[in-house]
Each structure stands twice: as structure tokens, then as C-alpha cells.
A and B are shown apart, each in its own frame.
Chain A
Amino acid sequence: MNETFELQAKIIKINGILLCILIVGSFIFFEEPLSFVYGLIFGGLIGILNFIQLAKTMEKAVRMNPAGAQAYASINYFIRFAIMAVVLIVSLKADYINALATVIGLLSIKFIILVTNLFNDKEYYKNIFKRKEV
């Protein structure tokens, strides 16, 4: 059932490393880093949980009929959307959590997905600019 486990583990691991770097960086660059660190941890963890939930949704959706899969994926997206709304409201309301750090934490996993998959093969970019007729 868990077809994407390896992919999830890889992305979550890299996201964890990025979060650790950001946390260490915030300890170095901010005078009072705790609220920023709490925001990063809070946002980062929810981002990871959202990604796992998305993976579960997609694994289930591919086994449905196309129309059912569309509805199922959209409904699950709005559930995750509501969860993110709650997380952002909590971080905006609570003084001890930096809202900007929470947003960075939430979006960090998307950044990792883009970067790890876009820049892992130089040959691909070389081929784009290679003249085909030669």
C-alpha cells in the first residue's frame, strides 16, 4: 500500500536538515530567536504531516475511478487547507510563535521538492540547449 514510502522518507529527511539549518541560523542571526524557532518547528512539522496526508490521499486516489479520484483528492485538499488555516491562525494569535517562521516552515517542503527534483541532473539542462540537427 505504502508505495511512496522511500520518496516520502527522502523528502522529509532533507526537509528536516533544512529546518535544522534554519534553526541554527536563527540562533546565530536573531537576538531573541525562540519565537522564530518555535514557528519553524510548528510550521515545518505541520508541512511534513500535510505531505504524508497528501501521499496517503494520492495512494488511495489512484485506485479509484477517475471521477471518484477527482472528488476525493479535492475534498482532501480542502481538509488540509482548513488544517493549514488553523495552524496559521494559531501562529498569528500566539505571541510566542512567529507567523512568518510558520509560513517558511509550511512552504519549506515545497521548496525541497522543487529543488531536489529540478537540479539533480545537469545533463537535462545541457540537452535543452543542445542543437538537435548537428
Chain B
Amino acid sequence: MEGTNFIQIFINWLASFEPKVLILAASSIGAGLAMIAGIGPGIGQGYAAGKGAEAVSINPKGSKQVTMVMLLGAAVAETSGILALVVALILLYGNPLVTAQGAGIILAASAIGAGFSMIAGIGPGIGQGYAAGKSTEAVGRRPRLQSSIVRTMFLGQAVAQTTGIYALIISLVLMFANPLTRLL
């Protein structure tokens, strides 16, 4: 019963603010949440670089091929970080929810949700980095199979990127074409 009271008190406290204030506050939380996805590519690229260094230490002659594969893999792994950054900066500098029509609390929750959904970007970031790391390791062992390994890596990375794209779509829908405000 007390828990319900607390929720009631919290909602009443939120309702005491102007809708625009609520939306702005929620947008800043959303932007911060979206930036969490930036960790993913950091971990992934670090892993790839570690594996690259290992591969070169095992097979120093294949250093050129290992670096090339790692560079290509790491470049693709960065994508979800950029997407998260875009959503965070839209929430901060080009927020469409501020001028949107509808109940303040729904718009505020949408701003938090838009940021929250971008956390999914951690997945592709780490996954693509992992693929890049394993590919560099493989190229270090079997340099002759480089083109085949690279292609397999990109195929995996392209598929891994899809969840990041889904997160971006949901985030953009919440910000620019929010279906929830029309239900009221």
C-alpha cells in the first residue's frame, strides 16, 4: 500500500511541473541513456586490436594482412556508436518532442524511451568488434584465406548491425512520429 502511495506522490510531484519542463528533463535523461551505447564499439575495437596484436606476435610476416582486416572490421564496428551519438544529439539540440502536441508525461516518457532504445547499440558494437578480432586471428593463422575470411566477417557484421538499426528506427519513431500521443 505504501508503494502505491509513493508512486502516487511521485506522479503528483511530476504533474506539478509544466509539460515542457518535464519533456526537457526527460530528454536530458534520454540523451545520457543513448550515449551508453558508445561503450559497445569501444569494447569491440579494443578486443579486435588485442587479437590483432596477438596475431602479429604469432605470425609477424602476416602483419600487413592482419592490420588490413582489423582496420576494415573496426571501421564497421564504429557505426552503432555514431547512431547512438546522433540520437543523443537530436534529443539535446534538435528535439522534436518539445514542440509536439500531446500529454506532457507521454512525450517525456517517449524522450526517455528514445534514449533507452539506443542502448541496444552496445550489442552490435561488441559483436562486430568480436567478429573483427576473430577474423584478424584467423588471417594471422591462414593469410592465404584472407579474402574469404574478410567477406565472412562482413557478412556477420552486416547481420549483427540489424538490431542496432531496429533500435534506431524505434528511437526515431518515438521522437518524430510518436503513435502514442494519437491514442489519447
Q: A4 to B82, Cβ gap below 8 A?
A: no
Q: Which residues of A contact B147 (CB under 8 A)?
A: 121
A70-B46, A89-B89 are known contacts. Are A118 and B76 too (CB-CB below 8 A)?
A: no
A70-B46, A73-B46, A77-B41 are known contacts. Are A114 and B76 too (CB-CB below 8 A)?
A: yes
Q: Which residues of B contact A70 (CB under 8 A)?
A: 46-47, 49-50
Q: Which residues of B contact A61 (CB under 8 A)?
A: 49, 52-53, 70
A61-B52, A77-B46 are known contacts. Are A110 and B75 too (CB-CB below 8 A)?
A: yes
A133 CB to nearest B CB, Å = 21
Q: Is B178 an interface residue (CB 8 A)?
A: no
Q: Which residues of B contact A63 (CB under 8 A)?
A: 53, 56
Query: Complex formed: what's the CA distance from A124 to B56 in Å?
Result: 27
Q: Which residues of A contact B150 (CB under 8 A)?
A: 117
Q: Is B121 an interface residue (CB 8 A)?
A: no
Give the nearest-CB partner of B41 in chain A: A77
A74 CB to nearest B CB, Å = 4
Q: Looking at the complex, which of B4-12, B59-67, B96-104 is the stretch in contact with chain A?
A: B59-67
A65 CB to nearest B CB, Å = 6
Q: Which residues of A contact B24 (CB under 8 A)?
A: none
Q: Is A9 an interface residue (CB 8 A)?
A: no
Partner of B74 from A71, A73, A88 at Cβ < 8 Å? A73
Q: Size class of A's contact patch?
A: 35 or more
Q: Interface size of B by Cβ–Cβ distance < 8 Å?
A: 46
Q: Looking at the complex, which of A16-24, A32-40, A101-109 is the stretch in contact with chain B?
A: A101-109
A64 CB to nearest B CB, Å = 5
A57 CB to nearest B CB, Å = 8
Q: A58 to B70, Cβ gap below 8 A?
A: yes
Q: Which residues of A contact B72 (CB under 8 A)?
A: 7, 113, 117
Contact with B along A5-27 (1 / 0, CB 8 A): 00110000000000000000000
Partner of A103 from B49, B76, B86 at Cβ < 8 Å? B86
A58-B70, A117-B151 are known contacts. Are A69 and B52 too (CB-CB below 8 A)?
A: yes
A78-B42, A103-B82, A110-B76 are known contacts. Are A124 and B148 too (CB-CB below 8 A)?
A: yes
Q: Which residues of A contact B46 (CB under 8 A)?
A: 69-71, 73-74, 77
B39 CB to nearest A CB, Å = 9
Q: B49 to A69, Cβ gap below 8 A?
A: yes
Q: A124 to B47, Cβ gap below 8 A?
A: no
Interface-centre pick from B64, B67, B147 (highest chain A CB count, 10 A)? B67
Give the nearest-CB partner of A99 in chain B: B94
Task: Please report A residues at the B interface, Cβ cutoff 8 Å.
Answer: 3-4, 7-8, 50-51, 54-55, 57-59, 61-74, 77-78, 80-81, 84-85, 88-89, 92-93, 99, 103, 106-107, 109-110, 113-114, 117-118, 120-121, 124
What are the 3 closest A-B residue pairs judged by CB atoms, nearest first?
A73-B49, A74-B46, A69-B53
